Amino acid sequence: MDPIPWRDAWHTALYAAELGFYVTRGGPAAHFTTATHGVTGAVLADALLRLWGRSHDDPPKVVVDIGAGRGELLTHLLSVESAVGVDVVDRPEGLDPRITWVRSPGGALLPDGLHGLHDALVIAHEWLDVVPCTIAEVDDRGRLREVLVDPATGDELLGGDLGPEDAEWAAAHWPDPGPGERVEVGRTRDAAWADLVSRVHSGLLVAIDYGHLRANRPTAGTLTAYRAGSLVTPVPDGSCDLTAHVAMDSLDADELARQREVLRGLGARATGPEHARANDDPMGYLRALERVSAEAELIRPGGFGDFWWAVKHVKGPDVP
Ligand SMILES: C[S@@+](CC[C@H](N)C(=O)[O-])C[C@H]1O[C@@H](n2cnc3c(N)ncnc32)[C@H](O)[C@@H]1O
């Protein structure tokens, strides 16, 4: 096959009807674990509600999870009046009937019907890293060129100069890459996030992802592929997940911090329950232990603790 820009091959490989990895190969949980699965998901959900509570007197009217997988995180957010899961498949079987499900086109594209959200807590946990982006590489003459890929084999080739929008993004956010270095152009992620923000009339949006800031951009590229729990060679043929770290500081956000800092600020301590409680309330003690180890997992440097939280407040036109 003729080589094409990674951005296009990536979109087809993850989201095309009858081929896309996320459309045809089962939920993300079948291939890799994220913090939304299991007890860490429950702790994360509580933290998100506490974050909301820092700037709002009343609970959110609706919680929307973009890239909801099979609704794992939302099952811990059913105390909210309305819960909406958005992902690229039809409503998962067995999903709690209190959750509304909306099918999305995928990648940078969001469903038309999702707009005008009021008092909404909108969560995008590991969404932006699967929004396809342009991949570029500096050639040995110092020119930043688009990387093309053969969708059948994953073989790469350097193409022409970046288009003007990508070139502008790279110049603004990814300073001075040297020969052989890669640039993962965050423009499509910024645009997808801005689109999501524009759908919210009032509320709070939180993007949680692994990523980097201008001061420490990766040099070798972060494009990675997973299938059935294993790392595999990135080939955009629909057989594997394709993900790349997010330039978190180019997103339009009001707050940006590591997950470990955010969770500590929201009260995560990861210290064990009083041992005496084991006698008085053994089940409660075990639950508390389980929670503490989930907190520890979520704030662990080198693990989930390194994730970034980008938070955007949308006040609505009537709120001073
Ligand atoms: C890495 S998985 C994360 C799933 C879940 N949020 C979690 O953390 O466990 C990314 C998910 O985002 C979904 N996704 C990608 N683009 C999307 C879009 N535009 N709208 C809704 N879901 C999308 C994928 O189908 C996939 O389920």
Asked if residue 50 belongs to a domain, the reply is: yes
Asked if residue 123 belongs to a domain, the reply is: yes
Q: Is the CB of 166 under 6 A from ligand 1?
A: no
Report pLDDT for 289. Answer: 86
Residue 1's pLDDT band (cuts 50, 70, 90): confident
65-74: per-residue pLDDT in tens? 999 999 999 9
Which of 10, 48, 127 is the pocket-test mutation for ligand 1 (most atoms within 8 Å of CB)?
A: 127
Share of residues in the chain with pLDDT > 70 (%): 99
Distance of CA 247 to the CA centre of its chain: 12
User: What CATH number is associated with residue 54?
Assistant: 3.40.50.12710
How far does the centroid of ligand 1 lie from the alpha carbon of residue 313, in Å?
A: 22
Helix or strand run (H / E) with residue 277: helix 277-280
Asked if residue 159 belongs to a domain, the reply is: yes
Residue 278's pLDDT band (cuts 50, 70, 90): confident
101-130: per-residue pLDDT in tens? 999 999 999 999 999 999 999 999 999 999
Residue 3's pLDDT band (cuts 50, 70, 90): very high
Which is the closest atom of ligand 1 to the Cα of 192? 19
| φ, ψ of residue 272 in degrees (nearest 5) | -65, 160
Q: Is the CB of 107 under 6 A from ligand 1?
A: yes
Q: Given phi > 0 = left and psi -120 to 50 = alpha, else beta, which region is 248?
A: alpha
Q: What is the mean pLDDT of residues 234-239?
A: 97
Q: Is the CB of 130 under 6 A from ligand 1?
A: yes
How far does the centroid of ligand 1 lie from the alpha carbon of residue 87, in Å?
A: 6
Report pLDDT for 229. Answer: 84
By the 8 A CB rule, do 31 and 229 touch? yes
Q: Is the CB of 240 under 6 A from ligand 1?
A: no
For ligand 1, atom 19, the nearest C-alpha belongs to 106
How far does the centroid of ligand 1 lie from the alpha carbon of residue 124, in Å?
A: 8
138-179: per-residue pLDDT in tens? 999 999 999 999 999 999 999 999 999 999 999 999 999 999
Query: Nearest Cα to 282, choosing from 269, 270, 295, 273?
Result: 273
Q: Is the CB of 110 under 6 A from ligand 1?
A: yes
Q: Is the CB of 238 under 6 A from ligand 1?
A: no
Report pLDDT for 228. Answer: 85
Number of domains in the chain: 1
At residue 315, does pLDDT exceed 80?
yes
Which of 24, 37, 75, 87 is the pocket-test mutation for ligand 1 (most atoms within 8 Å of CB)?
A: 87
Report pLDDT for 320. Answer: 57
Least confident of 31-35, 117-121, 133-137, 184-188: 31-35
For ligand 1, atom 21, the nearest C-alpha belongs to 87
Report pLDDT for 284. Answer: 81
Task: Domain of residue 295: give its range.
Answer: 4-139+143-312
Asked if residue 320 belongs to a domain, the reply is: no
How would DSSP label each residue in 23-41? HHS--GGGT---TTSTHHH
Both tokens assigned to 201: 């009339």
The average confidence (pLDDT) of the chain is 95
Query: Nearest Cα to 214, choosing from 260, 251, 164, 261?
Result: 251
| φ, ψ of residue 214 in degrees (nearest 5) | -50, -40
At residue 319, does pLDDT exceed 60?
no
**What does R_g of the chain's alpha carbons equal in angstroms?**
20
Q: Is the pTM of this model over 0.85?
A: yes
Which one-letter DSSP state was computed for residue 317?
T
Residue 175: burial class (beta carbons within 10 Å; 0-12, 13-18, 19+): exposed
More confident residue, 171 or 271: 171
| Antiparallel, parallel or unpaired: β 144-149 and 241-243 | unpaired
Place of tokens 């036109």: 317
Which is the closest atom of ligand 1 to the Cα of 123? 6
Which of 11, 21, 22 is the pocket-test mutation for ligand 1 (most atoms within 8 Å of CB)?
A: 22
Asked if residue 262 belongs to a domain, the reply is: yes
Place of tokens 């693990």: 303
Give CA angle at 279 (278, 280), nearest 5°.
100
Q: Is the CB of 75 under 6 A from ligand 1?
A: no
Q: What is the mean pLDDT of residues 215-231?
A: 94
At residue 77, does pLDDT exceed 80?
yes
| φ, ψ of residue 57 in degrees (nearest 5) | -80, -40
Q: Is the CB of 250 under 6 A from ligand 1?
A: no
Share of residues in the chain with pLDDT > 90 (%): 85
Residue 71: burial class (beta carbons within 10 Å; 0-12, 13-18, 19+): buried
How far does the centroid of ligand 1 lie from the alpha carbon of residue 37, in Å?
A: 13
At residue 276, does pLDDT exceed 80?
no
Could you tell me the CA-to-CA distances from 137 to 8, 176, 241 in Å, in that order?
17, 12, 22
Could you tell me the CA-to-CA distances from 195 to 177, 190, 250 in Å, in that order?
29, 9, 14
Which is the closest atom of ligand 1 to the Cα of 34? 9
Report pLDDT for 274. Answer: 75
Report pLDDT for 318. Answer: 61
Give the whole-angstrom CA distance, residue 245 versus residue 248: 9
How far does the centroid of ligand 1 lie from the alpha carbon of residue 104, in Å?
A: 10
Give the whole-angstrom CA distance, residue 83 versus residue 206: 15
Give the whole-angstrom CA distance, residue 98 versus residue 85: 11
50: three-class secondary structure by DSSP: helix
